[in-house]
Amino acid sequence: MSISSIATAPPNTSATATPSNQLQGNSTEFLKLFMAQLQNQNPLDPKDGTDMVSQLATFSQVEQATQTNQELASLVAAQTSDASAGMSSLVGRSCSATASDFSIDGQGGAPPPLDVTSASSMKGAEIDIKDSTGKIVRTIGLPDSKSATITWDGKDSAGHTLPAGSYTMSIGGTSKSTVDAEWAGRIDSVELTPNGTRLRMGGVLVNPSDIRTIGASQAGK
């Protein structure tokens, strides 16, 4: 069994392109080689004009590619900044988010409650929390009911607070029912991490694409 996921927020925007500094290096080297060729050519057998025009055209194309990549990098940076600014409106609001992939950054704080629901009894089902290697670090049993609110203290099965890193949450156990699990809490901040923009809910960071519902502001609570 797996935790169902519904993505309602736009995913992070990213782009992959040849680094502009690499192209800049290529164009500089090209110009040096071209000048060296002119200085060392045989005066009795000079370079054909057609070949020189072709080489200059190649140099021009490299320069244009460098400028294009610089413009693309600026555009991506602007889009990322606008998206992050837009998500700031979620801060202070009550939200729910699919409990699948999440992160812990080691700043402390308890994870938000987990709302679990199923069309039938969840008896025999359990929540498995795994680290980035896929190892189960904590298992939480679910009650014999169709819905419940589960509190997790952010610790592993030995009672140790989990270190910073990436984690996943899935449904295991012997139950055949399909269980839906969601974080339920307030968005405390928008975090710009090396892995992209994340939303802080208590002691965990969730992907914006995992947000399922957005409620009223809870500022001051």
Average pLDDT of the chain is: 79
Distance separating alpha carbons of residues 51 and 59, to the nearest angstrom: 13
pLDDT of residue 101: 93
Render pLDDT for 12-52 as a digit per residue (tens, 0 to 9): 444 444 444 544 455 677 677 777 777 777 666 665 656 66
Specify burial of residue 60 (Cβ count, 10 A radius: 0-12, 13-18, 19+). Answer: exposed
pLDDT of residue 182: 95
Render pLDDT for 101-125 as a digit per residue (tens, 0 to 9): 999 988 878 899 999 999 999 999 9
pTM: 0.60
Do residues 7 and 209 make contact, with C-beta atoms less than 8 angstroms apart?
A: yes
- How many degrees, rounded to 5, is the angle at CA 19 between CA 16 and CA 23? 135
Alpha-carbon Rg of the chain, whole angstroms? Answer: 27
pLDDT band of 131, cuts 50, 70, 90:
very high
